[in-house]
Amino acid sequence: MTLHHTDPEVHTIIAQEQQRQQLKLSLIPSENFFSASVREAVGSVFMHKYAEGNIKKRYYEGNVFVDKLESLTIRRAKKAFKLPDEWSVNVQALAGSNANLAVYLALLDIGDTMMGMFLPDGGHLSHGWSYEPKTVQDPHSYIYFGGSRKVNITSRIFKTIQYKTSPLTQQFDYDEVEQIAMEHKPKLIITGGTAYPREIDYHRMKSIAQKVGAYYMADIAHEAGLIAAGAMKSPIGIADVVTMTTHKTLRSGRGALIFAHNDIIKKINRAVLPGLQGGPFNHSIAGICVGLGEVLKPEFKEYAFQTVRNAQFLVEELKRYNFTIVSGGTDKHLILLNLTNKPILGKKFARALDYAGIVANMNTMPQEIRSPADPSALRIGTPWITTRGMKEQEMVQIASWINRVMEICSPWKEYEFDEFEKSVKESVEIQTISDEVKELCLKFPLKI
């Protein structure tokens, strides 16, 4: 029997979410929409099987087809990312943070120093975040030492320091990064994050790591699909380790991949199992395998390059409405809007856009002086809308809607959040935009 008959309550919730995805524009850069084939693989009978261990070295019997699936996934990953012969990949990590932690477990000892990007500038929690409550950071400093509130396990078991972007360019100043590394001698240097819109100089970062005797890990969770397609530069063969999630621009279901030289990947395999987890999620690996097969097709390359074109075109359209773009632009799928010259900041603006049918997220930005719970910026991106088939013409319309929402909400700038949301919810003008968004969505339907 179908879910509709066995559990109508859950069936209704799923149907509601399906309708939301179909009739709203997701501009969250870390989200994407998977093909029916990927979803079929994830929902397959592989979810029933335990497969603790590695290929041909399982602790349970009955894994002949799991081995076949995992071997195929590895081959496709190697081909998609053009791995050197001496490199391999682990496909078992359950998610990006788990993958990063496996690398740390493999390469570091408790108490070692690791160095990643400052979280408010666009870094990631799993790169070593801690903070001191109610302390405003010096926006002109290039280094951050964390605080007593160690919110991620990495900052609890390692000494973590973080480098910031330049106050002038809001991009990396590699000379400053090198100076910090030379002074503090980290054992691991990390690049990548959640809101850095520019290319990273992987060769320069590797050079810095070599100078201080550190490993270099490139976390390309956001850019993975763009890199596989050749729309962005690749750190494969340059960094010592490359980690990524599979559900963002790679569009391959939920999970993670870890790439490294064969000598290092052996350590990482042991860190994943038995170091951090038991049996892998075989059904997730099945989805990743199907997604990687799609990555190898010409259509994916066109999608990836169009994703970047859409983001860069959207930047220019937003500038026409006097939106300030962090770093002045983007090299990828991701755009960060500095809203300090506008009446409405990130938290309120994100909520207003959602009522208008445009899904984005509030975000901190370089030189942020506000709380992450009510930050100055808005983060948007183009992966999902590009998957829908939208191109430059639609970016013109989307930018116009974003500006209209800002203009409509401006009179309510002094309202407390609940009163602001009530005004947005009751606004006929906001509802009109939502209806217009639905019309566009129906012209580019998701293949559910």
Separation of CA 160 from chain center: 21
Average confidence (pLDDT) over 304-332: 98
Mean pLDDT of the chain: 96
Go through the chain and tell me how many residues it has.
448
For residue 140, pLDDT beyond 90 = no
Separation of CA 269 from chain center: 23
- Band the pLDDT of 35: cuts 50, 70, 90: very high
Residues 80-114: tens digit of each pLDDT: 999 999 999 999 999 999 999 999 999 999 999 99
Closest C-alpha to 30, from 335, 296, 331, 448:
335
Closest C-alpha to 360, from 408, 314, 319:
314
CATH 3.90.1150.10 range(s) for the chain read 307-443
CATH number of 45-295: 3.40.640.10
- Band the pLDDT of 70: cuts 50, 70, 90: very high
For residue 137, pLDDT beyond 80 = no
Amino acid symbol at 122:
G
Backbone angles phi, psi at 112, to 5 degrees: -65, 160
Residues 207-263: tens digit of each pLDDT: 999 999 999 999 999 999 999 999 999 999 999 999 999 999 999 999 999 999 999
For residue 51, pLDDT beyond 80 = yes
- Residues serving a catalytic function are 50, 52, 219, 245, 248, 254
Tell me how far CA of residue 221 lies from CA of 228, 244, 247, 257, in angstroms.
Answer: 12, 4, 9, 9
Residue 393 tokens, joined: 């013409």
CA distance 402 to 43: 36
Ramachandran sector of residue 111 (left: φ over 0; alpha: ψ -120 to 50; beta: rest): left
User: Given this model, what pLDDT does residue 189 score?
Assistant: 98
The strand pairing partners of 215, in sequence order, are: 188
- 284 neighbors 96 (Cβ within 8 angstroms): no
SS3 for the chain, per residue? Answer: CCHHHHCHHHHHHHHHHHHHHHHCEECCCCCCCCCHHHHHHHCCHHHHCCCCEECCEECCCCCHHHHHHHHHHHHHHHHHCCCCCCEEEECCCCCHHHHHHHHHHHHCCCCCEEEEECHHHCCCHHHCCCECCCCCCCCCCCEECCCCECCCHHHHHCEEEEECCCCCCCCCCHHHHHHHHHHHCCCEEEECCCCCCCCCCHHHHHHHHHHHCCEEEEECCCCHHHHHHCCCCCCCCCCCEEEEECCCCCCCCCCEEEEEEHHHHHHHHHHHHHHHCCCCCHHHHHHHHHHHHHHCCHHHHHHHHHHHHHHHHHHHHHHHCCCEEHHHCCCCCEEEEECCCCCCCHHHHHHHHHHCCEECEEECCCCCCCCCCCCCEEEEECHHHHHCCCCHHHHHHHHHHHHHHHHHHHHHCCCCHHHHHHHHHHCHHHHHHHHHHHHHHHHCCCCC
Q: What is the pTM of this model?
A: 0.96
Q: What percent of the chain stands above pLDDT 90? A: 95
Q: How many CB atoms lie within 10 A of CB 18?
A: 12
Average confidence (pLDDT) over 113-130: 93
- Band the pLDDT of 1: cuts 50, 70, 90: confident
Domain 307-443 annotated CATH 3.90.1150.10: yes
Amino acid symbol at 31:
E
Residue 214 tokens, joined: 């550190």
CATH 3.40.640.10 range(s) for the chain read 45-295
Residue 18 tokens, joined: 């399906």
CA distance 36 to 15: 16
